[in-house]
């Protein structure tokens, strides 16, 4: 190597001269899911064995072989050997470069549901939830018959899911009025216009019961109509059906006598 000028030939020669050994360095950046905390790792390898590592979290070198341990010890003595600035010059720059175009904007999933309703006070609460959106920065508001609601509104922070996504929950305390229209309005940069989710009121219990009873009688009516039709069709065959009904009455007398006999036998056994 020392004899060589830095030419292409020299590089080729040095490749051959290492005779199958090789050295490599790894630079790695670890980001927490919210991209706030960054850890920079610089690893030195020889023949696939990592012998020395710099870790920005501890701001220290660690050796994994005898040689690596000796190097780490001497490197740790002088703060000038710190590679902490890579956190900014390498990891953070890359983060800013990639995160804006790698992480797409993701639309929220919006649901509106009722949390409680107290018949005495006529006070109700609605919950509007926006799930799994990205990036952070959302606006959730309530509309009642076309007007923005300002009273009785409260909200959680934007919560990190633990992956790249966020969720938020907004509450509305209100006194219900019949026939009104309440909607949750969500504004986010992933949406070209506000997403409006209208509260779908479930049917009141007595109306639901009426509906169930109605369906029951409808099904019963259809069943009776079908049975009547079949009876009419069988009745038109005359003699055959009479024969059948006689068979049935015979069978029933036989089973009655059987049960009397078994009752008698159980008395005698006692």
Ligand X SMILES: *[C@@H]1O[C@H](CO)[C@@H](O)[C@H](O)[C@H]1NC(C)=O
Interacting residues of 125 by C-beta distance below 8 A, sequence separation 6+: 114, 115, 116, 117, 171, 172, 173, 174
Residue with Cβ nearer ligand X (200 or 206): 200
Which of 6-14, 53-61, 165-173, 217-225 is the region at the interface with ligand X (rule: CB under 6 A)?
A: 53-61
Q: Which of 24, 37, 47, 57 binds ligand X (CB under 6 A)?
A: 57
Residue with Cβ nearer ligand X (51 or 166): 51
Residue with Cβ nearer ligand X (166 or 170): 170
Interacting positions 77-116 with ligand X (CB under 6 A) = none
Smallest distance, ligand X to C-beta of residue 39, A: 6
Interacting positions 190-229 with ligand X (CB under 6 A) = 196, 198
Q: Which of 181, 207, 244, 258 binds ligand X (CB under 6 A)?
A: 181
Q: Which of 146, 179, 204, 238 binds ligand X (CB under 6 A)?
A: 146
Interacting positions 33-52 with ligand X (CB under 6 A) = 41
Asked if 189 and 105 touch (Cβ cutoff 8 Å), the reply is yes
Cα–Cα distance for residue pair 77/135, rounded to 1 Å? 42
Q: Which of 29, 35, 143, 191 binds ligand X (CB under 6 A)?
A: 143
Q: List Cα–Cα distances, 208 to 105, 154, 158, 214, 242, in angstroms.
A: 42, 32, 37, 10, 45
Smallest distance, ligand X to C-beta of residue 53, A: 7
Q: Which residue has the tokens 């341990």?
A: 69
Smallest distance, ligand X to C-beta of residue 181, A: 4
Q: Which of 55, 81, 160, 197 binds ligand X (CB under 6 A)?
A: 55
Residues interacting with ligand X, by CB under 6 A? 41, 55, 57-58, 143, 146, 181, 183, 196, 198
């Amino acid at each position: 190597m020392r004899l060589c000028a830095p030419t292409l030939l020299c590089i080729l020669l040095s490749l051959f001269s290492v005779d199958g050994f090789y050295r490599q360095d790894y630079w790695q950046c670890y980001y927490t899911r919210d991209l706030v905390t960054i850890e920079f790792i610089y690893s030195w390898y020889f023949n696939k064995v990592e012998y020395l590592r710099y870790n920005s979290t501890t701001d220290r070198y660690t050796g994994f072989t005898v040689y690596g341990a000796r190097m780490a010890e001497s490197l740790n003595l002088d703060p000038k050997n710190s590679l902490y600035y890579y956190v900014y010059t390498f990891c953070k720059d890359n983060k800013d470069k990639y995160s804006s175009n790698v992480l797409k904007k993701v639309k929220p999933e919006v649901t509106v549901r009722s949390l409680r309703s107290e018949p005495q006070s006529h006070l109700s609460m609605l919950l509007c939830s926006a799930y799994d959106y990205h990036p952070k920065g959302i606006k959730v508001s309530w509309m009642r018959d076309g007007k923005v609601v300002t009273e009785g509104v409260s909200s959680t922070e934007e919560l990190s899911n633990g992956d790249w996504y966020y969720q938020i929950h907004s509450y509305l305390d209100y006194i219900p009025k019949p026939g009104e229209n309440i909607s949750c309005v969500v504004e986010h940069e992933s949406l070209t216009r506000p997403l409006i989710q209208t509260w779908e009121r479930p049917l009141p219990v007595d109306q639901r019961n009426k509906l169930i009873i109605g369906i029951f009688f409808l099904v019963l009516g259809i069943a009776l109509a079908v049975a009547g039709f079949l009876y009419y069709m069988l009745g038109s065959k005359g003699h055959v059906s009479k024969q059948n009904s006689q068979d049935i009455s015979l069978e029933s007398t036989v089973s009655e006598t059987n049960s009397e006999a078994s009752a008698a036998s159980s008395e005698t056994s006692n």
